[in-house]
Amino acid sequence: MKMPSRNLVERRVANALESLLLNDAYLILEGVSERSITHKLAEYLQQVFRSWHVDCEYNKLGPGVKTLPLLDGNDWIEDSPVYPDIIVHRRGMPEDPEDPPHCLVIEARKHPATVEKIRRDQEKIDRYLDTELRYRYGLLLEFRVESGQVRCVQEWK
């Protein structure tokens, strides 16, 4: 299966976010849990990424647990288990090692998020892209309520 272009991925995410805000802004306005919001977003993403799997907090890489080297304060923790908020991928291991199975990883936060949490999510996304996990695209989302309106601030990698 061919990897979609960044432009196509960004358009599909924009469509899914538009559906989320149109149909489920209530979740963000009422301050429900981040997991509830990302679950609904994943449902809309599945509609626009029909030939891919869209999962929340998927922690497997083939038969093993998904891990990354991450900073904890000033110390590196090798093999930290990770649970991405949302991923667009192909489950299991690819038959062709040149065919990356991971399209998009999304980490999401509700505003206000601490600087430390945002930095940790940015670091995780960088690691998802630069390690053997080989995600092609990364997105940090922040859900904000400003003057009674919901906004989604996006930081693409």
Q: Would residue 29 count as lying in a domain?
A: yes
pTM across the whole model = 0.90
- Contact present, 48 and 16 (Cβ < 8 Å): yes
Domain that holds residue 87: 6-156
Tens of pLDDT, residue by residue over 103-117, are 999 999 998 888 888
Number of domains in the chain: 1
Q: Would residue 1 count as lying in a domain?
A: no
Average pLDDT, whole number, for the chain? Answer: 89
Rounded Cα gap, residues 28 and 92, in angstroms: 33
- Contact present, 90 and 67 (Cβ < 8 Å): no
Tens of pLDDT, residue by residue over 21-47, are 999 999 999 999 999 999 999 999 999
87: nearest Cα among 68, 107, 114, 70: 107
pLDDT category of residue 75 using cuts at 50, 70 and 90: low
Q: Would residue 125 count as lying in a domain?
A: yes
Residue recorded with tokens 């930290």: 80
Tens of pLDDT, residue by residue over 126-148, are 988 987 788 999 999 999 999 98
Q: Would residue 77 count as lying in a domain?
A: yes
Residue recorded with tokens 């799997």: 53
Q: How many residues does the chain have?
A: 157
Q: What does residue 122 show for φ and ψ, rounded to 5 degrees?
A: -60, -45
Q: Would residue 72 count as lying in a domain?
A: yes
Q: What does residue 117 show for φ and ψ, rounded to 5 degrees?
A: -65, -40
pLDDT category of residue 65 using cuts at 50, 70 and 90: confident
Q: Would residue 107 count as lying in a domain?
A: yes
Q: Would residue 52 count as lying in a domain?
A: yes
Q: Would residue 137 count as lying in a domain?
A: yes
What average pLDDT does this structure show over 2-11?
Answer: 94
What average pLDDT does this structure show over 80-99?
Answer: 80
